[in-house]
Amino acid sequence: MPNLETERLHLIPFSLEYVIAAMRGREELEALLLHNVSKQWPNTDFAQILPMLADELEKEPSKAIWNGLMIQKDEKTVIGDMGCKGGPDRNGVVDIGYGVVPEYRGQGYASEMAKALVVWLLSRKDVTKITANCFEDNIGSIRVLEKVGFTRLSESNGLLYWEFEK
């Protein structure tokens, strides 16, 4: 993604350089970004995929546009991440995911990010539909997806599936 800006956030591409720094530790990423990184970032699940993300970006650096970091402007702090799980498929469908650290949840940051991400994705000719999923008990993500205008499609094994079409 290009650098995107909202009222309270900077959304920046999660480049290979940043991924490697994040794998080495919060202090290294802070030094590279010249911003703080929440002590709650990355969460355990996202930390586990960093090596796979690094491998992918080493092979195809251009894929960095599909992942980003959320930086809270006033505090100059990384508070979360978002991504498009590899970019659009051949039909133009892209699946998004995101996470905000616990201390910043419930303050509208995820909705603010998701709106900007959707606007950017819909401006691209190679994207025809945006999908997402969340656990059925994740009230925060359900609210975010509803606020942004996603339509709930189905439920399976505790997951809710959503879409946003052009």
The answer to whether residue 57 scores a pLDDT higher than 90 is: yes
pLDDT digits (tens, 9 = 90+) for 127-147: 999 999 999 999 999 999 999
pLDDT digits (tens, 9 = 90+) for 79-112: 999 989 888 999 999 999 999 999 999 999 999 9
Residue pair 66/85 in contact (Cβ under 8 Å)? The answer is yes
In angstroms, the CA 95 to CA 35 distance is: 28
The answer to whether residue 1 scores a pLDDT higher than 80 is: no
Q: Name residue, tokens 């009230």.
A: 139
Amino acid identity for residue 117 in this structure = L
SS3 86: coil
Cα of 111 vs its chain's centroid, Å: 11
SS3 3: coil
What pTM was computed for the model? 0.91
- The percent of residues in the chain predicted with pLDDT above 70, rounded, is 100
